């Protein structure tokens, strides 16, 4: 079963609580929360205070994606704010294995994200510490970019490794997923799909989410 995680930064940033409520009513599977620090990526979004303020709005899984230079400094704050899953980047300054272990100890599901130009082999040593790998199919920083097709090769390669080693690990894909390409992305082996513009720019979120699920072939 595929899951759709709409990214609220592509919605009305002045009305985030309303957006989360609408997504809950539209049967989103998770809420994707893109946290950017203006250092790791050239954009700034929001911090743990906003996540905490949104937490009472719904019971959906909060899928927090930290695009931070030194994420380990903030993982506790985002866990305490109510994140259920937290991913951070292997390209960040934080120690990868230790940060994944800390996330596990904090009671959140640990995820490791990698940028389009980062080879898959860099994340291989850490697979056992993570619950999911977030494969970026755009350069992080902004919603509304075009999916980089070459990054899909990493998804199929990763799926192969997961199967052959019988790992308990899911693949989330993030960036440029839409109705026209979700089938191809699902065929590569992704299970969880972040969707910024594909959902948040639609008039009817429920229609957009169910259309993405249908098109994924699941
Ligand atoms: C990019 C973010 C993505 C983005 C997704 O830095 O991590 O989650 O908001 O938006 P779309 O689906 O429009 O690429
Ligand atoms: Zn994201």
**pLDDT at position 1, please?**
86
Cα 3 to Cα 8: distance, rounded to the nearest angstrom: 16
Q: In the chain, where does DSSP find H-type helix?
A: 16-25, 48-54, 75-80, 96-105, 152-165, 182-188, 197-200, 205-216
CB environment 162-192: b (16+ within 10 A), e (fewer): beeeeeebbbbbbbbbbeebbeebbebbbbb
Choose the catalytic residue: 29, 63, 174, 192: 174
Task: Work out the angle at residue 188's Cα, subtended by the Cα atoms of residues 132 and 142, and round it to the nearest 5 degrees.
Answer: 65
**36 C-alpha vs ligand 2 centroid, how far in Å?**
9
**187 C-alpha vs ligand 1 centroid, how far in Å?**
20
Q: Is residue 11 within 6 Å of ligand 1 at its C-beta?
A: no
Q: Which atom of ligand 1 is nearest to the CA of 36?
A: 6
**pLDDT at position 169, please?**
98
Asked if residue 30 lies in contact with residue 60, where contact means CB atoms within 8 angstroms, the answer is yes
**164 C-alpha vs ligand 1 centroid, how far in Å?**
30
Q: Which of 43, 138, 148, 182 to mutate to test the pocket of ligand 1 (most atoms within 8 A of CB)?
A: 138
Q: Is residue 32 within 6 Å of ligand 1 at its C-beta?
A: yes
Q: CA 146: distance to chain centroid?
A: 16
Start-to-end CA distance of the chain, whole Å, equals 6
**pLDDT at position 156, please?**
97
Q: Is residue 170 within 6 Å of ligand 1 at its C-beta?
A: no
Per-residue pLDDT of the chain (218 residues; tens, 9 = 90+): 899 999 999 999 999 999 999 999 999 999 999 999 999 999 999 999 999 999 999 999 999 999 999 999 999 999 999 999 999 999 999 999 999 999 999 999 999 999 999 999 999 999 999 999 999 999 999 999 999 999 999 999 999 999 999 999 999 999 999 999 999 999 999 999 999 999 999 999 999 999 999 999 97
pTM here?
A: 0.98
**pLDDT at position 160, please?**
98
**pLDDT at position 148, please?**
98
Residues 6+ away with beta carbon under 8 Å from 171? 132, 133, 135, 155, 158, 159, 162, 189, 190, 191, 192
Cα 93 to Cα 1: distance, rounded to the nearest angstrom: 34
Q: Is residue 197 within 6 Å of ligand 1 at its C-beta?
A: yes
**pLDDT at position 218, please?**
75
**138 C-alpha vs ligand 2 centroid, how far in Å?**
10
Structure tokens at 8: 């609220």
- The bound ligand whose nearest atom lies closest to the alpha carbon of 176 is 1
Q: Is 203 a catalytic residue?
A: no
Q: Is 12 a catalytic residue?
A: no
Q: Whose CA is nearest to atom 9 of ligand 1?
A: 143
- The bound ligand whose nearest atom lies closest to the alpha carbon of 138 is 1
């Amino acid at each position: 079963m595929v899951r759709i995680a709409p990214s609220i930064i592509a919605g009305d940033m002045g009305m985030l609580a309303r957006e989360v409520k609408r997504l809950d009513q539209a049967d989103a599977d998770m809420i994707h929360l893109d946290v950017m620090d203006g250092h790791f990526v050239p954009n700034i979004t929001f911090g743990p205070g906003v996540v905490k303020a949104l937490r009472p709005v719904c019971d959906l899984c909060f899928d927090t994606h930290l695009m931070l230079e030194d994420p380990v400094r903030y993982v506790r704050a985002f866990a305490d704010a109510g994140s259920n899953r937290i991913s951070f980047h292997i390209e960040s300054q934080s120690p990868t294995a230790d940060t994944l272990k800390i996330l596990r100890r904090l009671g959140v599901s640990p995820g490791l994200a990698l940028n389009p130009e980062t080879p898959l082999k860099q994340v291989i040593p850490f697979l056992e510490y993570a619950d999911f790998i977030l494969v970026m199919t755009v350069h992080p920083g902004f919603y509304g970019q075009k999916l980089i097709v070459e990054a899909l090769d990493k998804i199929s390669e990763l799926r192969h490794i997961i199967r052959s080693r019988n790992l308990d690990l899911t693949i989330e894909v993030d960036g440029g997923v839409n109705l026209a390409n979700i089938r191809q992305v699902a065929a590569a082996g992704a299970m969880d799909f972040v969707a910024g513009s594909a959902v948040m720019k639609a008039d009817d979120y429920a229609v957009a989410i169910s259309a993405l699920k249908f098109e994924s072939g699941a």
